[in-house]
Chains A and B, each alone.
Chain A
């Protein structure tokens, strides 16, 4: 891993996560688990005209998974769901500003995986 994996911005998101909580009656929600480390995240999306109008998450996890979920839910607002589905690990690394390395990539991408599965469920 890079020495400065715990950049101030990630720690700040971890300590004060954005969009933490539930959406009542969301367009779709999805629960995702990282059984290796016990990270546990549920994402809630409201989708309007093919774009994310609101995104929230709940759950527990490490600084990387919670920090990433906080940043991702910020970034999703207004984004077309087709664009979200096309996102990959590289976009998450860019968003975090650090490369967590192969061992922690699962933590970093947990919320994205959950969001993409939610969109898949939404589309049916």
Chain B
């Protein structure tokens, strides 16, 4: 593998010492959440053990140290995605909360009755439901960019058609968590800006896996989660252009988000703190900072190259096993897909597949992957199994997965010639 030695990387992840059902653990569910390296575990533990204190208040030494570590993590995140400064980095709980913050603050002010919000057919629930809720509150309308289910990408004509209705907001995923398709969000943003729409990108599946430059994309809002990028759960990021954040009202009121409070009024704090009411997830921020350090050390381009090679290997191997249907772009388009492979062993329910994998010590996801409109309405599947890769996965993990597929087929007596039911 060019530039990234996964065998060496694995040694930093204590979880790979466990056994599941007596077998060495194989983790193929990083699109759900990533495993954590000892650098992140130690950073959080060091905070608890040596400088646990609240931030932005104490004048004593360890409080200053905690404040500095928390703020430093924002500078690291800003640099990772090429934001201008930490002022543009708002911490939330996760991608979902980041998107909801935009819905409850910017959209609440800027979307009115009969305004249109354009999303796509491959969105995760987190980029559908907040807009359906907003539409209900405001009497606004949600439109969908149609997915070309065969090509697994947006239908260009459908993007243009959606934009003809002059949406106020275009909200799309950077990478599909089911198909793995990488969307050309730079092109979507450019087109959307021509009609005056603001652009929100759900980057939950891109930031952990490739170099992302929010300025180059020209995203107005960009949301992602710490727990999918080696960091802890409970810390997420909303990037937004400073000019937008300045106009946006806070959603939650309380401590830390204010500069001053009087009996009958208050002045909001400066950016980004005005969106972070109450004691922050300090250890989450510190852990995320350590995660960004790890990613930078590995190199985002190396990570991408490693996962691209694994995806190619897996797609080629899986093609050699009959009776399996793979979703997403074919192997010759591996440049346009991340390390996510949703598949169906024909005639076997996804949950049975995942249970057999588990019996072999392999973790894969089964279900509709929080993308019911895509899986059920567009792809017409009741459920799918999914394997997804990260920095610690190796070709041998994929070989184990192929053996597990053979075991499923043997238990359920599936022939190589099995065909999808139409």
Contacts and interface: CB of A to CB of B under 8 A. Distances in A.
A37 B358 contact: no
B350 A37 contact: yes
A38 B367 contact: yes
Contact of B367 (A36, A61, A63, A104): A36
21 contacts: A1-B355, A1-B358, A5-B355, A5-B359, A11-B413, A15-B413, A36-B367, A37-B366, A37-B367, A38-B367, A38-B368, A38-B376, A38-B382, A38-B383, A39-B349, A62-B352, A63-B349, A63-B352, A103-B355, A104-B355, A107-B351
Interface string A32-48: 00001111100000000
B347 to A, nearest CB: 10
A1 B411 CA distance: 16
Contacts of A60: 382
B92 to A, nearest CB: 25
Interface in B326-357: 348-352, 355-356
Contacts of A62: 349-352
Interface string A1-19: 1010110000100010000
Contacts of A6: 352, 355-356, 411-412
Interface in B174-220: none
Interface in B296-353: 348-352
A113 interface: no
A64 interface: yes
Interface string B15-41: 000000100000000000000000000
Contacts of A100: 355
Given A36-B367, A37-B366, A38-B376, A64 B359 contact: no
Most buried by A among B350, B358, B413: B358
A63 B412 contact: yes
Contacts of B383: 37-38
B351 A104 contact: yes
Interface residues of A, number: 20
Interface of B: 21, 348-352, 355-356, 358-359, 366-368, 376, 382-383, 411-413
Most buried by B among A5, A37, A39, A103: A37
Most buried by A among B351, B356, B368: B351
B349 A37 contact: yes
Most buried by A among B349, B366, B413: B349
A122 B408 CA distance: 40
A6 B412 CA distance: 9
Interface in A36-89: 36-40, 60-64
Contacts of A5: 355, 359
A104 B253 CA distance: 42
A46 B348 CA distance: 31
A5 B352 CA distance: 10
Given A38-B368, A38-B382, A11 B411 contact: yes
A103 to B, nearest CB: 8
A114 to B, nearest CB: 17
A11 B351 CA distance: 14
B129 to A, nearest CB: 14
A64 B351 contact: yes
A5 B358 CA distance: 11
A88 B368 CA distance: 28
A60 B173 CA distance: 31
A100 B21 CA distance: 14
Nearest to A60: B382
Given A1-B359, A3-B21, A5-B359, A37 B412 contact: no
A85 B350 CA distance: 30
